Amino acid sequence: MEDIFVGRQSIYNNKLEVYAYELLYRASEENRAGVTDQDLATSQTIINAFLEIGIEKITGPHFAFINLNREFLLNENLRQLPKEKVVLEILEHVPATEDVIRSVKALVQAGYTIALDDFVYRGALEPLIDQASIIKIDIQALSKDEIETHFRQLKKRPLTLLAEKVETPEEYEYCKALGFDLYQGFFLSRPKVVKGKRIPANRLVILQLLAKLQNPDVEMRELAQLITQDVSFSYRVLRYINSAYFSVSKKVESIPHALTLLGLKHIRQLVSLLALTKIDDKPTDLLNTAIIRAKMSEQCAAALALPDTDTYFTAGLFSVLDALLDMPMQEVIKGLPLADEVCTALLGQEGKYGTVLKAVIAYEQGDWDKVNLPGLEPGTITDIYLKSLSWADQVLHAVQAHPAD
């Protein structure tokens, strides 16, 4: 997987505690921006921070300041960012045009926090000042008289004032004595680079799809929309339900009809399985292993009269996600809304789901001494394994063909 990077610089409060981090574009581990296209830099920073590395890994419990130009302020997709986590920092060259003011007002009404960067007062900025919560004053760009004039005028409003580019102890003491609320600059902390791995595009989509499927509140209507958005998914679901395995009396020709016949539990299992078949560069044997583990875990749980057999299926199916996605399992489960006990099973084969999964993997590997499922005779486990092999063959045959086949 490709290396990716995000820079971050700490922002401190009066107690010199970290208040937030400003996110910065970085193309490598070299700690410099090298920005030639501001739009591209902003896009890449947001993608790397929120979709690839994970904002919690970069900022922990603190806010993330994100630099925005005019184009991003007018982009509706901006509202997909978590308002409780971000501060939207409007760059100094953004003009206070009617469309910008309208967009900023809407963002504030939606609950977002606005900061103005490299602030130098102009009357035209009044509409943006009215919407801002934080004003950043570049103390290197202004004389002391100008800093103090700005400070006095802005302090009349309910604003948080941030001194940026604080580069010496003397500058810090000066700003602190003046009464600034927040501080940022080389004297306090130089930017640091956080490194991560880019998940290939098709695997990121798959991870997002699996997350949707594991949402306990997902409805049949949402699943139908999810499936019909992908032609190959729709084809494979219909091919599966019309296969000899189901022996339906009348051909099923629509996704809603297929969902009605399968039910929510089985459609979740099927679409999760289909998602894994979309990973093109992995051997079929790996997917086959996942399907066998899933069915065997489910059937062992059923034979033991355990509840939630579908969750045992999920634990078995997801037990090879690290190999399929080329990611550590710890990173995989961060992106999925799985119950803690399922995570425990996937990470350490412990807990109620992990106990069954551990026995299934031991049987698969011929490690008979570790096939420990009290209540199930060896012959019963063998029977379940053989039936799971047969089921996996049928499923793979039904879902792996392409529409052109």
Task: Report, as an integer, the average pLDDT of 368-376.
Answer: 90
Query: Is the pLDDT confidence value at 201 over 60?
Result: no
End-to-end CA, the chain: 32
**Residue of 159 and 122 predicted with greater confidence:** 159
Asked: is 2-198 a CATH 3.40.50.700 domain? The reply is: no
pLDDT of residue 404: 41
Strand pairing partners for 184? Answer: 164
pLDDT of residue 50: 78
Query: Is the pLDDT confidence value at 253 over 70?
Result: yes
Pick the CATH number of 201-399 from 1.10.3720.10, 3.40.50.300, 3.40.50.720, 1.10.3210.10: 1.10.3210.10
**Angle at which helices 220-228 and 255-277 cross, to 10°:** 60
- Could you tell me the residue ranges of all domains in the chain? 2-198, 201-399
Query: Is the pLDDT confidence value at 228 over 80?
Result: no
Q: At 403, is the pLDDT very low, low, confident or very high (cuts 50, 70, 90)?
A: very low
The structure tokens listed for 400 are 């792996």
Task: Report, as an integer, the average pLDDT of 379-392.
Answer: 93
**Residue of 52 and 269 predicted with greater confidence:** 269
Give pLDDT tens digits for 2-58. 677 899 999 999 999 999 999 998 876 665 555 556 667 787 888 778 766 778 889
Which range has the worst mean pLDDT, 10-19, 224-233, 301-310, 340-349?
A: 224-233
Task: Report, as an integer, the average pLDDT of 245-265.
Answer: 78
- Eight-class DSSP state of 329: H
**Residue of 249 and 389 predicted with greater confidence:** 389
pLDDT of residue 402: 44
Q: At 84, is the pLDDT very low, low, confident or very high (cuts 50, 70, 90)?
A: very high
Buried b (16+ CB within 10 A) or exposed e, 61-100: ebbbbbbbebebbeeeebeebeeebbbbbbbeebebeeeb
pLDDT of residue 391: 87
pLDDT of residue 335: 75
User: Average pLDDT over the chain, rounded to whole?
Assistant: 86
Give pLDDT tens digits for 144-169. 999 999 999 999 999 999 999 999 99
Query: Is the pLDDT confidence value at 105 over 60?
Result: yes
- Cα–Cα distance between 260 and 277 in angstroms, integer? 23
Strand pairing partners for 192? Answer: 8
pLDDT of residue 199: 58
